[in-house]
Structure 1
């Protein structure tokens, strides 16, 4: 948990009343967003929170209630049983983000972290989303919202109907609204032909790679979100497992492993991506220095939690002067500390 200790900002208690996840979901308001709206601070937004479980809780239920994905909870809480965390276990709610390095407007979906960012004049909201599998990937695209849909019917494409037929199952040409509809209660139609942001009747898949390419949200989120998002809202779909940014003179790095299990091959690929990203960042920001050890910790954990890996030289010099009044500057810090 060393990376968490290095990255952890002030933590807020998310729940004080011991209720089951199912009971807490029922009390949610109809239209108010279930997630906070954070004001970005440079390239960062949000804060980590802690949550005290009751005996009935599972990560799937907590994710549904708190609008967080199953995998992001698992990665942020190593060593905790996601199906039986136990009574009174404090778990981390990963709501601290390095913002994606793209135009921060409208909707940005980062496939690598299974998250949807919604940027508005008030700030940014972050939602978990289910995305396409390796066999049926979600498209990397720039699109727009064309229409909100209430109680959508589903017209399965021929490819999906063929899959069902090959497995001996029958899938009709139209699935009417209702509990058996995979699109859930609401949807946003996109200009990218055949793709939607929609609810689901299989809520466990939110925050995982499970769909045929569309983007699944909890019904409790999409039923509110469709009333926030207007026609023409831009939608960017990216794949960015490594994010780096500056906030208040500090350099922060966020690394996402692709699966719950973390193989040596995945680690090698991520290290290469991190190396390239950090080199590019330093070229763009020559005034910063980064610590190799902190970067190694971020890659070793790859838990999706931001970790501070460096800072601006001007800030470092000011900190050194404050800690040693009257001392002469000693030039650059030891190079062994830096990437």
Structure 2
């Protein structure tokens, strides 16, 4: 029994040390997939007591992210021994590869500390009625052990739900902002730590972006004040991995819905742009499934022939 307990503790300790992914940038500047080769899937086996959310927290993934990646697995009762896919490949957002890029539908940060690396973290973002803004801003300040004075609007909202907030929260681990926070140049918005880790990778905040405590502890000292922060809305991303074009799809944000036809039009335009302005022969059935049932996992939609030419081709199903 002692041996089993020790083994369990060692497994939990190794899982708890999983943090952000620091990944090498693609060898070719035209490529856009980082992490493990996208055709190599990583799985872990669920334990009897696990939920998908437990596994997401253990691997510093977002809640919606792990649910999307495992559409046939029960969120609350995966079952002992059930293989659970862990996303390890990422298509970079279509944005300048510098500073911080936050893709809101994906609920993930990409940080480019230099030309050879990208660091990525899952985040929680604002609810539909408290949207996280879009656009280019910057890190206006860094706060270690911040205090928090709740705005009147948030105090009123909590009061309407029968919850009374304190007018002031001193620095410390029980502070809703955690131990580290970045202040954006957009007034009122932060990137900060949270003890409510089950909300990472969900739309649960009042517009701020929330990070796992261990992630922001690692992130905080590496980001200088003045760093650009680009907040984008890209539910469909395209990127090359060697000679294969991959597409990564997420559900649309509720405030910017789109029909299947609109999403298809966007996807085809992105494919054409990625292929130098010419439409290749794509895997139409794969494209259709990815758009109808987003998983957030990169899927191959086109592979260049060994002797690729620049001639335009038509789409086939």
TM category, shorter: 0.7 to 0.9
1:154-200 CA distance string (max 9 Å, x none): 11111111212333432232112334322122111211211111111
Report whether the alignment pairs 1:239 with 2:233. Answer: yes
The equivalent residue for 2:13 is 24
Asked if 2 retains the 8 angstrom alpha-carbon contact of 1:21 and 1:57, the reply is: no
Written as runs of structure 1 = structure 2, the 5 A alignment for 1:1-339 is 19=8, 23-24=12-13, 28=17, 34-41=19-26, 42-47=31-36, 48-121=41-114, 122-258=116-252, 269-283=259-273, 285-287=276-278, 289=280, 290-312=282-304, 315=307, 335=314, 337=316
Provide the C-alpha distance between the structure 2 equivalents of 1:278 and 1:26, rounded to a whole number of angstroms.
39
User: Structure 1 residues 283, 238: CA separation in 2 closer, same or farther (over 3 Å shift)?
Assistant: closer
In 1: Cα distance, 2:10 partner to 2:54 partner: 6
1:261-300 deviation per Cα after TM superposition (whole angstroms, max 9, x unaligned): x9xx96x625412322422541562355123222112112
Q: For this pair of structures, how many residues does the alignment match?
A: 299
Decide whether aligned partners of structure 1 residues 279 and 191 sit closer, same or farther in structure 2, where only a CA change above 3 A counts.
same
Instruction: Give me the TM-score of the superposition, normalised by structure 1.
Output: 0.79
Contact 2:16–2:59, Cα closer than 8 Å, also in 1: no
Q: Which runs of 5+ in 1 are unaligned?
A: 1-16, 318-330
Worse-superposed segment, 33-42 or 116-125: 33-42
> Does the C-alpha gap of structure 1 residues 105 and 301 become closer, same or farther in structure 2, counting only changes over 3 Å?
same
Higher mean alpha-carbon deviation, 44-53 vs 70-79, is at 44-53
Cα deviation, residue 86, structure 1: 2.6
Q: 1:171 to 1:18 in 2, by over 3 A?
A: same
Using the alignment, how far apart are the partners of 1:305 and 1:27 within structure 2?
24
Task: Point out the more displaced range, 195-204 or 18-27.
Answer: 18-27
Shift of 1:123: 1.2
Using a 3 Å threshold, how does the CA distance of structure 1 residues 315 and 299 change in structure 2: closer, same or farther?
farther
- Distance in 2 separating the partners of 1:224 and 1:238: 23
1:39-70 deviation per Cα after TM superposition (whole angstroms, max 9, x unaligned):
23311111242222322322222222211011
Larger deviation, residues 83-92 vs 105-114? 83-92
State the alpha-carbon separation in 2 of the partners of residues 52 and 23 from structure 1: 14
Alignment RMSD (CA, Å): 2.8
